[in-house]
A and B are shown apart, each in its own frame.
Chain A
Amino acid sequence: MSLQFVHAHDCSEKQKDAVWGAQWTSKDQVVSISADGSVKLWDCTSGQTVQERPAHPRGITSLSVSPSGEHVLYNSLEGLTSLWDLSNGEVVGTHESFVRTAGEQTEPAWSVSLHPNGETYASTGGLGCVTIRSAQKDNFGQHLTKLESGRVKFGMCVSYSPDGSRVAFSSESGQIYIFDLTSNALTATYTSHAVTVRSFAWSADSQLLLSGSDDKRLMLHDVRVSPSGKPGSGAVASLVGHSSWVLSTSISPDGKLALSGSADKTVKVWDLSARAAVSTISHPNEVWAVSWRPQAAPGSNGSFVTGADDGVLRWWRGAGAA
């Protein structure tokens, strides 16, 4: 089986450096972060910038958008975490995670994730653990909980499950850890990759987790939890086909298709039930960001946006869709 996706358009103006992250929001806009320090909000039909933050002197490494599409959490290379409210364009709070505070073993944040309810955010970095901090306006960045994996390996990517009950993070050495947030306990560790996992994505129903690694593969994990507390069956499929590192992943809103961006300068679309690539789209550069449109047009295979090392955002839509 193969699916066709057509290139709709590019962003009106390319970034000065690589696009490091992009997310298609529920308000049908795209937020992007770049190595040039910019954070921008784009219109999906025109590809024009709607809003942007003044460029930070260093690159922005991590991005997380609230389910409402109104709040944007982002983090810079040195660990400055900021929350941006799109409804009024203001910055709700910033936290300098690189500043050492007494009595608290801290690490500069590398990757961040905003809780679906917007009350907290999670961060990971050099110490290989997840730190939960407040995302409220009055005490933004206040340390709440620390979840330890027991290993000191650089945390590459952290993300709350869409239902908000769990948080997962992946490390430089390839492990993926899942913590339960009611008990704050480590519930599962997956060692399906032996090298860096740069990115992973939850399915919308919080039952699947797709990870992409420097080992060129993507692994699909069944992360369901039965009422008895017994974890799901773990790694259930490996998606092989990229010829270099997998840099970004995203699962379609209906959970049927997945996207992966790679250093081999392609984007692949995968059929998760057939466990095979159904489309390969070439890019001029490494693809650091992929994101599905949260609401697919009826009858179409969906639309998505990609961000590449050349600083260009590209919009794609399933052939046959209007």
Chain B
Amino acid sequence: MLTEESETGYCQEIQPMLNVAESMDVFGNENVEDGDDEDGFAEEGPDRESKRLESIELLENLALSFLSQLNNALSERDRDEHDDDQDATNAKGRKRHISLELADRTYRSQCRTLQFPKRSKGPSIKPIAQLLRVVDLSHEALVNDAPVTKRDIYYRDVALFKSQAIVNSLVDDLAATIDVTRADLNIRASAKGLFCGSCLRLSLHNGDEIWGQDFEPSLIPVGEEIANFKFVENVSWVLIVEKDAVFQTLCGSGFARNESLPGRGLLITGKGYPDVATRQLVKALSDNLPSTIPIMALVDADPYGIDIALTYKYGSKSMKHQNEGLAARRVQWMGVSAADIFEMGIDRDAMLPITVHDHKKALSMLCSPDIPLTGSLRHELTQMLHTRRKAEIEVIASARQSNSGGQASGSKPVNPLLRYLEQKISKWLALFSSLEHRMVE
């Protein structure tokens, strides 16, 4: 798990990525000064070190604040006991609280406070103990300069943390509170996202290289580990898939080098809501790929699917403090839309009824002023609520029966999902190149 080279922040990370991508010939970008590239790396060393020291100091300050409050409270109690005989009522009224303020990640202006002692069902020292344990482990990781994963932290004290979710939220809370990124705390998530496509090659800081393949998925490493990425072949489209199952189907069929589509493709999945590493990769692609290359998201036709597409594009609510570095604005929602489903001749009854949660989620997305919905997404959510039906990507598979009659006899049956994607991607490619033409003119 420990890597010798570790980067401190994705902010610094994106920079060299950008330089590398710009200097590549495949994109046809000229006049890129090589000096930029070296500058980017040269500045990194001391900057990284100072960041590390700064983070250590911030963590120590937090622990110090706790200790000094504890010390004050204890000395005050001693004084009270001393004065007890003279003025008992006065002592009772005095408050001796220890409180630690944590940033609220959803509403930046507010913060939540951990307090001890406090009236509560469980022991009120526990949240503070959990927080300080995270501080401790993060501090250790920074001092030893050896990154830990959130999973590691959980296993270091299972009895204290009880669940992974608590660790996850404390880590993000802590990062938001001392206003650094999670990577600055030297804490990482285990890799979850996958990519597939032989056109992409990643170089890691430890010297390893990850070569993408057309039929096999590769794990997307944490952004801090990636030194640079390059395209060894011309990539013409990028497809982000919500679901691992669909991603595996596409990998298995070698969809990244589908012959009916021009050039090579790149497939990415975050397996549901994407982790930071996946979003970092998508963000880097979004910043660096030429504008004629569409980056499309294929998600379920339900409110959560659309929310996942929006998470790639605009960032997530719980990671608001880190969103600027992660929002890939070029991601386009491709489908599956209800209109696509009807166009394929799939029966309405093949769609699923929406649940109470879907209904609430869709309504809150439609009503929230924070979520920038495009007309087509607004229409999609509205229609979903009105028909009270949703669909999974897999619903496309049921198009086979209804459409096979029109197919030329004797030809091999085509997976309806592949046919759907071929049509959709070609449409997007045509749209993007026509836009490009218009811009040139």
Contact = CB atoms under 8 A, between A and B. Distances in A.
B382 A244 contact: no
Contacts of A53: none
A285 B72 CA distance: 74
B387 to A, nearest CB: 9
Contacts of B386: 20, 35, 59, 61, 77
A77 B348 contact: no
A305 to B, nearest CB: 20
Given A58-B367, A78-B363, A78-B366, A214 B349 contact: yes
A217 to B, nearest CB: 13
Contacts of A244: 347-348
A193 to B, nearest CB: 14
A58 B366 contact: yes
B128 to A, nearest CB: 33
Contacts of B347: 244
A58 B388 contact: no
B359 interface: yes
Contacts of B363: 77-78, 108
Contacts of B379: 17, 35
Given A77-B366, A78-B363, A196-B388, A172 B353 contact: yes
A263 interface: yes
A154 B386 CA distance: 12
B367 A126 contact: no
Interface in A151-179: 154, 172
A245 interface: yes
A58 B362 CA distance: 12
A154 B359 CA distance: 11
A245 B348 contact: yes
Given A17-B379, A58-B367, A244-B348, A77 B385 contact: yes
- B: contact size bracket: 10 to 19
Which of A61, A77, A78, A196 is the most central at the interface, judged by chain B CB atoms within 10 Å of its CB? A77
Contact of A78 (B348, B367, B383): B367
Contacts of A77: 363, 366, 382, 385-386
Interface string A117-147: 0000000001000000000000000000000
Given A77-B366, A172-B353, A196-B388, A263 B348 contact: yes
Contact of B359 (A126, A214, A263): A126
B440 interface: no
Nearest to A20: B386
B398 to A, nearest CB: 15
Interface string B98-129: 00000000000000000000000000000000
A154 B388 contact: yes
Contacts of B348: 214, 244-245, 263
Interface in A21-50: 35
Contacts of A196: 353, 388
Interface in B337-370: 347-349, 353, 356, 359, 363, 366-367
Nearest to A59: B382
A126 B388 CA distance: 12
A305 B379 CA distance: 24
A196 B382 CA distance: 18
Nearest to A35: B382
A310 to B, nearest CB: 12
A184 to B, nearest CB: 27
Given A172-B353, A172-B388, A196-B388, A35 B366 contact: no
A58 B367 CA distance: 8
Contacts of A61: 386
Interface string A201-224: 000000000000010000000000
Interface in B379-412: 379, 382-383, 385-386, 388
Interface string A72-91: 00000110000000000000
Nearest to B366: A58
B59 to A, nearest CB: 41
A154 B367 CA distance: 20
A87 B366 CA distance: 33
Contacts of B385: 59, 77
Interface string A87-116: 000000000000000000000100000000
B286 to A, nearest CB: 29
Interface string B259-292: 0000000000000000000000000000000000
Nearest to B356: A126
B347 to A, nearest CB: 8
8 contacts: A18-B383, A35-B383, A59-B385, A61-B386, A77-B363, A172-B353, A172-B388, A244-B348
Given A35-B383, A77-B382, A196-B353, 6 more contacts: A17-B382, A154-B388, A172-B353, A214-B348, A214-B349, A245-B348
Interface of A: 17-18, 20, 35, 58-59, 61, 77-78, 108, 126, 154, 172, 196, 214, 244-245, 263
Which 3 A-B pairs rank lowest in CB-CB distance, beginning with the nearest? Answer: A59-B382, A78-B363, A35-B382
